[in-house]
Structure 1
Amino acid sequence: MAKKNIVVVGAGYSGVSATKFLAKKLKKDSDVTITLIDRHSYHTMMTELHEVAGGRVEPEAIQYDLQHLFARKKNVQLVTDTVTAIDKENKVVTTKLGSYPFDYLVLGMGGEPNDFGTPGVKENGFTLWSFEDAVRIREHILTTVAKAALEPDAAVRKAMLTFVVCGSGFTGIEMVGELIDWKERLAKDHKLDPSEITLKVVEAMPTILNMLGRNDAAKAERYLKAKNVELVLNAPIVEVAPDHIKLKDGSTIPTHTLIWTAGVKATSDAADFGLEKARGNRLVANEYMEAKGYEDKNIYVIGDLVFYEEFPNTPTPQIVQAAEQTGHTAASNIVAAIKGGEKHKFKGNYQGFMVSVGSKWGVANLFNKIHLSGFLAIIMKHIVNLKYFFDIRSGYYMFQYIMHEFFHIKDDRNVARGHTSRYGNVLWSVPLRIFYGLVWLLEAFKKIVGEGEWLKPSTWFGEGSWFQGDSVFPWTWDYQAATDAASSASADVASAASGAADAGAGAETVAHFGLSYGYGEQPMAVIEKAPDWFVSIMKVIMPNMEVAMFFQKMMVFVEIGIALAIIAGLFTWLFSATTIVLVATFCLSGMFFWVNIWFIPVAFALMNGSGRAVGLDRWVIPWLQRTLGNWWYGKPKSMYGQK
């Protein structure tokens, strides 16, 4: 069979989704090669650009290396390059550095800001449509506030500290929301009063957030006003100057920072491809996402670049959900063409819209039925973002997202209001970590010493230790009786069982509940008798006394290993979690008392990265992450596909 070449141009939401789908469905087809071309070596999480621009997360938090996303996908070739032309007749994609023949071509090059020809936007404004845009805005704001703090002229100072966002769509409102959260930090770092920083949203329409219902938009409007954001509505911008903007009514707003989020159009890179265009330079496609007029050439258009009217005069919206779904449609039809099957028509399934106004508050409309605001809306947005990583099968970046959004956060700028931040000093948990490790070490050695003398190792492993006699586990007490019910050994075991039960659980009439030991009291077991279902499981794992004794002896050395690791701060998260599992097992066995239940909350407390302070985790974990990352993903490169 002739080799099939699939070329995907653009590593945005649509391109990544299409390539992931193709790689999965065609992984067994050795004669198919998928080439993903993008001008960058990374995928940008466009919906979170405002978090970088507004100083909430570091730039790398939204930058996902393509090699990580397509690790171990042997049928995907990554190329970092810019497409300059498409030979539709000979079916060749030309780039700045080479050319790539194709049997199937998917164009997902996305969009770019639309300034509608407004004078001065390109020269004096800031757009928010790329990773570079977000970093540029962030650096400009930091520089401008620093200069304003030293500016003696009150009028100039006020203009420098006035930040204007043009456009009240999702991007604009999310951007001003980040500025709300960032304002306090900016003021503090530069010895300013936060009230000196002015935030404005300028909108040509009479309302904001027009993708949402009016009730949801009204909630957002009230929140913005409560945060002292000035909404300038019915006010198209007609000119942007370095130190002011001019509105249609002739008025001006002095500002050195205008962030333009007022519109989007298809990328200008696709303008010369010779494909039919519609509004905003979007390329026209049919219901199969095939480029109009070139259906026989197997050219597909997806994402923000595609113009397909789902309904009369209503093209697919330029949102993430539509981008992913158009990508899946095109990929499904390519798979059907290669492997045989029916074509799939595009049918949009938009499950709702969400907008965050800063890190702690938002509004959401789900399925046109569920309306959320505040804390719950932000939680839902995080869930949707986590689902995205699940959809593209990237556990690595799902973990990174969680770390950046919940743990590597400053100034309480997350939905948990900073309570999950790892920037809290873990040094003070070191004494607790060492003490907890010593407790486990002492308890393990008690099981070794038994009735021997602590300072005489020759007396260890004797009577009373876990290495002599029969197993202490309650489900093993009837093993001897089952094999020889008439023997005296059976009676001895039964007697020992009775004594162990009394010692482990305590006599029901005298056991006292308490979370700390009371002198002279018999402590109460968490569970007096192991549940039958648990005993059944344990009897399968330990079917006889020999196996039970093996597990019992092994457990002692496991506890010693855990204790030493916790004391040394090595894999503290993992071993602290393991102690929780062990305690839960001991509780279910009827061998753990309420007075020691503090083991569990202490273990949870030590899972906060405590091993990175005066512990081996400070060096081991970063080394392990680098080593395993390079082994699994390979070393990230600034460019892919170059010889």
Structure 2
Amino acid sequence: MTKIVVIGAGYAGVLATKKLEKKLRKKKMADSTQITLIDKHPYHTMLTELHEVAACRVGEESVKMNLDQIFAGRKVDVVLDTVTKVDFENNKVQGKNNQYDYDYLVVAAGSKPTYFGVEGAEENSYSLWSYDDAVKLRDRIHDCFRMAADETDPAKKKELLSFYVVGAGFTGVEMVGELAEYTPILCKRFNINREDVTIVDVDGLSRPVPILPEKLSNKVDRRLRKMGVDVVMNASVVGVGKNFIKLKKNDEITEHVAGTVIWTAGIESSEITSEIAKEVTSGGRGRIQVDENLRSVDYKNVYVIGDNMLYTAPGEERPVPQMVENAEHSAATVAKNIVSEITKSGKLEAYNPKFHGVMVCVGGRYGVARGGMAKHQINFASFFAMFAKHFINIIYFIQVMGWTKIISYLKHEFFTIRNNRSFLGGHFSNKTPSFMLVPLRLWLGAVWVYEGVMKILEGWLTKPMLSGFFGGANAWFDSLLGRMTETADAVASASTEVVATVDATASASTAAAAGAADAVASASTAVSSAAGAAADAVASAGTVIFDWNFKLFETILVSGTDLVHSTISDIAFKIQVPFVDWFVENVVLASDGMTMFMQILIVVLQILIGLGLMGGCFTFLSALVSLVLQVMFVTTTGLYLNTFWMIFAGLALVFGGGYTLGIDYYLMPFLKKKWQKVKWARKWYLYND
């Protein structure tokens, strides 16, 4: 049994473990290897999103992913323990609770804040490098505003409302940006003047986020100042107290009131990595020196990845940066190399990362980025930068937890966002109370039941009728478009049949809401009175509004009468798709048996959809099938515009429409609980938390 131990469940550790397990499973070696992932927390934290929790843009649960869920259905032993030492000579990892043997060790223990020996910094400031840090800081910010609202002492109030962020790198800028964006909201909530709040971002750097091009750094600087942040560059912090901060600039030391100091000025390797670094070749801040295959230069069965590795790629002057993309790339390389060593196949891969750019967001609405291919990158800002940020996060979630985390992320970042704090504003936030959809749900359901019942009465369960249903509709459209070649009797029959079938059958709302019964009656009379004259009447009275052919499909909008006198019930829309026409002709209408099967299926679906919607039972599925049927009608017979409300109603009811005064309120939580226990559903993340 080959034993692999991974220390740390950060970005690098989680990805390396998942990739290892997948590769070994594909090579059918899962039973002969044991992968153990050790971390002191039972969850994986999205460190790059902590500022959003600290400034209350998203809930704390949004940055956590349970390790048991990540590795559900996979041969990975997730162990909750704190590693204290590694015995390289005997291949053992010592934890507080247990000891773990290994044949291959992956060090991915991450980092922690570094304070550079600044007096009082660690004791009197708030860090932002863990889930707990973000929650504590969020509560601290709220407490400051709450207490300041009742404070009568001006000096104490100023202290409570003075916030200093130390560091103008990625974390510092993102934190101060979120805080500045959240401050007006808190001021309104607690009745505090915005002018009474002091927000300062301070750093010894010459400009914010110097890894960015100067042009983008200047955009960040201007954005922060516009949000009311005092950006102080070329100033170093030399002391932090309980209610003050000392800055040194141009050899002058000044003391400033600071009720809350947030430290984001740099990182160093975690405690265990620093301990390991004492026993192996390493560099500054506890980073462990590795070779081109990401193995420790001292022990060839010890791999180091992510923030813990010290490696300079070929052609580069500086070591690889401590950023998420490096964690992703190094995890993939290590997984490949360990599997190659275990299987004794293939050469070890040399690590030569190609980084695709960096981005920083300043609040939830604005960001800047430089990205593209490794050697061809461009600058972009605002909407495009924020879009790139969310897209990259989604790509990462696909690797870690697939569907379930993507849905959770979209919910937290867009669908439940409050105070319009996203780059899309609040346009996608679900602010409409779901109980307002109940009448719409009941009415749409009743219409579908009516549709099904009417088809039964018309004989859809006893004789083939789809040929006339489809043919009549096509003949009517062809007559208006000047494509008719049949006799006048055929035209008359087609023109009237579509009125009786397309409108009344495709949507009962015509009968319910627009007087379709009268139209049907008059059409029937026209058939019996003057078949020869009908074709000329249709052609002369009808109007083609547009007919746009896009080769793969054709969009047609026509009116059954002259446009001036048309009502919404006279105008029909159709999307002509050649493949759909072929399918109808060669499959659906190929035999009476198939035709009857399709007719019965349509009737059953319409009644089930209606009952489901009226009862609020499987509302999501009912609304989805409703949309599918409407699309089928649009592409086969066309729909009158006064029936299009059914499409939009179906869209409105797809998500959550049955949780208010419906069976789904009880049924969905029960089924969800059962579904999450299904092994293959958990393994492939086919559920939504």
- Give TM-score, length-normalised by structure 1: 0.88
Of 416, 433, 445, the match for 2:453: 445
Mapped pair 1:77 → 2:77: yes
Give 2:395's aligned amino acid. Answer: K
Q: Deviations over 1:162-219 (max 9, x none)?
A: 1111111111111111112211221222222233222110111121111110111111
Matches within 5 A, 1:534-613: 534-542=580-588, 543-613=590-660
Give 1:319's aligned amino acid. Answer: M
Q: Does the Cα contact within 8 Å between 2:616 and 2:659 map onto a contact in 1? A: yes
* Aligned counterpart, 1:373: 381
* CA spacing shift, 1:540–1:119, aligned 2, 3 Å: farther
Q: Does the Cα contact within 8 Å between 1:56 and 1:409 map onto a contact in 2? A: yes
Distance in 2 (CA, whole Å) between partners of 1:313 and 1:628 is: 52
Q: Secondary structure at the match of 2:140?
A: helix
Mapped pair 1:41 → 2:42: yes
Distance in 1 (CA, whole Å) between partners of 2:468 and 2:356 is: 53
Matches within 5 A, 1:513-528: 513=558, 523-527=570-574
Give 1:538's aligned amino acid. Answer: V
Give 1:136's aligned amino acid. Answer: K
* CA spacing shift, 1:144–1:514, aligned 2, 3 Å: farther
Residue 471 of structure 1 deviates from its aligned partner by 2.4
Query: Which has the larger displacement, 62-71 or 609-618?
Result: 609-618
Which stretches in structure 1 are left out of the alignment for 5+ residues?
451-463, 479-491, 637-643
Give 1:77's aligned amino acid. Answer: D
* CA spacing shift, 1:425–1:476, aligned 2, 3 Å: closer
Residue 578 of structure 1 deviates from its aligned partner by 2.1
Q: Deviations over 1:427-448 (max 9, x none)?
A: 2222222222222222222112
Q: Secondary structure at the match of 1:525?
A: strand
* CA spacing shift, 1:508–1:342, aligned 2, 3 Å: farther
Q: Does the Cα contact within 8 Å between 1:471 and 1:545 map onto a contact in 2? A: no
* Aligned counterpart, 2:286: 281
Q: Secondary structure at the match of 2:417?
A: coil
Q: Does the Cα contact within 8 Å between 1:510 and 1:522 map onto a contact in 2? A: no
Give 2:650's aligned amino acid. Answer: A
* Aligned counterpart, 2:326: 322
Query: Which has the larger displacement, 271-280 or 211-220?
Result: 271-280
Distance in 2 (CA, whole Å) between partners of 1:303 and 1:69 is: 19
* CA spacing shift, 1:156–1:67, aligned 2, 3 Å: same
RMSD in angstroms over aligned alpha carbons? 2.7
* CA spacing shift, 1:168–1:588, aligned 2, 3 Å: same
Q: Secondary structure at the match of 1:136?
A: helix
Distance in 2 (CA, whole Å) between partners of 1:623 and 1:193 is: 48
Mapped pair 1:343 → 2:348: yes
Distance in 1 (CA, whole Å) between partners of 2:637 and 2:470 is: 13
Residue 494 of structure 1 deviates from its aligned partner by 11
Q: Does the Cα contact within 8 Å between 1:570 and 1:617 map onto a contact in 2? A: yes
Q: Deviations over 1:565-588 (max 9, x none)?
A: 222223333322222221110111
* Aligned counterpart, 2:421: 413
Distance in 1 (CA, whole Å) between partners of 2:541 and 2:461 is: 31
Mapped pair 1:400 → 2:398: no
Q: Does the Cα contact within 8 Å between 1:307 and 1:315 map onto a contact in 2? A: yes
Of 445, 453, 466, the match for 1:472: 466
Mapped pair 1:269 → 2:272: yes
Q: Deviations over 1:578-611 (max 9, x none)?
A: 2222111011111522221222222222234232
Distance in 1 (CA, whole Å) between partners of 2:298 and 2:369 is: 39
Distance in 2 (CA, whole Å) between partners of 1:521 and 1:206 is: 65
* CA spacing shift, 1:115–1:581, aligned 2, 3 Å: same
* CA spacing shift, 1:19–1:631, aligned 2, 3 Å: same
Distance in 2 (CA, whole Å) between partners of 1:389 and 1:552 is: 43
Q: Deviations over 1:7-64 (max 9, x none)?
A: 1111111011111111111012120111111111110011101111111111110100
Residue 526 of structure 1 deviates from its aligned partner by 1.9
Residue 321 of structure 1 deviates from its aligned partner by 0.3
Mapped pair 1:257 → 2:260: yes
* CA spacing shift, 1:435–1:498, aligned 2, 3 Å: closer
Aligned residue pair count: 603
Query: Which has the larger displacement, 426-435 or 31-40?
Result: 426-435
Residue 614 of structure 1 deviates from its aligned partner by 2.4
Q: Deviations over 1:60-93 (max 9, x none)?
A: 10100111111211x2111111111111111111
Residue 256 of structure 1 deviates from its aligned partner by 1.1
* Aligned counterpart, 1:617: 664
Distance in 1 (CA, whole Å) between partners of 2:610 and 2:539 is: 33
Of 360, 363, 366, the match for 2:368: 363
* CA spacing shift, 1:226–1:515, aligned 2, 3 Å: farther
* Aligned counterpart, 1:489: none
Residue 469 of structure 1 deviates from its aligned partner by 2.6
Query: Which has the larger displacement, 589-598 or 148-157?
Result: 589-598
Higher RCO structure, 1 or 2 (CA under 8 Å, sep 6+): 1
* Aligned counterpart, 1:175: 175
Distance in 1 (CA, whole Å) between partners of 2:68 and 2:238 is: 44
Q: Which structure has the highest helix share of the two?
A: 2
Give 1:240's aligned amino acid. Answer: V
* CA spacing shift, 1:259–1:430, aligned 2, 3 Å: same
Give 1:358's aligned amino acid. Answer: G
Distance in 1 (CA, whole Å) between partners of 2:269 and 2:242 is: 27
* CA spacing shift, 1:477–1:412, aligned 2, 3 Å: closer
* Aligned counterpart, 2:547: none
Query: Which has the larger displacement, 384-393 or 169-178?
Result: 384-393
Residue 514 of structure 1 deviates from its aligned partner by 6.6
Q: Deviations over 1:307-331 (max 9, x none)?
A: 1122565111000000111111111
Residue 138 of structure 1 deviates from its aligned partner by 0.6
Q: Does the Cα contact within 8 Å between 1:476 and 1:545 map onto a contact in 2? A: no
Q: Deviations over 1:88-130 (max 9, x none)?
A: 1111111111111111110000111111111111111011111
* Aligned counterpart, 2:552: none
* CA spacing shift, 1:617–1:200, aligned 2, 3 Å: farther
Which stretches in structure 2 are left out of the alignment for 5+ residues?
473-488, 503-522, 524-537, 544-557, 684-689
Give 1:533's aligned amino acid. Answer: F
* CA spacing shift, 1:522–1:67, aligned 2, 3 Å: closer
Distance in 1 (CA, whole Å) between partners of 2:501 and 2:610 is: 23
Query: Which has the larger displacement, 427-436 or 19-28?
Result: 427-436
Distance in 2 (CA, whole Å) between partners of 1:234 and 1:520 is: 70
Give 2:613's aligned amino acid. Answer: I
Distance in 1 (CA, whole Å) between partners of 2:439 and 2:495 is: 39
Distance in 1 (CA, whole Å) between partners of 2:627 and 2:341 is: 53
Distance in 2 (CA, whole Å) between partners of 1:447 and 1:315 is: 72
Matches within 5 A, 1:431-510: 431-448=439-456, 450=457, 464-473=458-467, 500-501=497-498, 503-504=500-501, 507-510=538-541
Q: Percent identity?
A: 34
Query: Which has the larger displacement, 510-519 or 221-230?
Result: 510-519
* Aligned counterpart, 2:535: none
Distance in 1 (CA, whole Å) between partners of 2:586 and 2:164 is: 68
Distance in 2 (CA, whole Å) between partners of 1:343 and 1:496 is: 75
Matches within 5 A, 1:17-416: 17-27=15-25, 28-29=28-29, 30-73=31-74, 75-248=75-248, 249-273=252-276, 274-295=279-300, 298-310=301-313, 314-339=318-343, 340-367=345-372, 369-392=377-400, 394-416=402-424
Distance in 2 (CA, whole Å) between partners of 1:590 and 1:5 is: 64
Q: Deviations over 1:249-276 (max 9, x none)?
A: 2112211111110101111222223222
Give 1:536's aligned amino acid. Answer: W
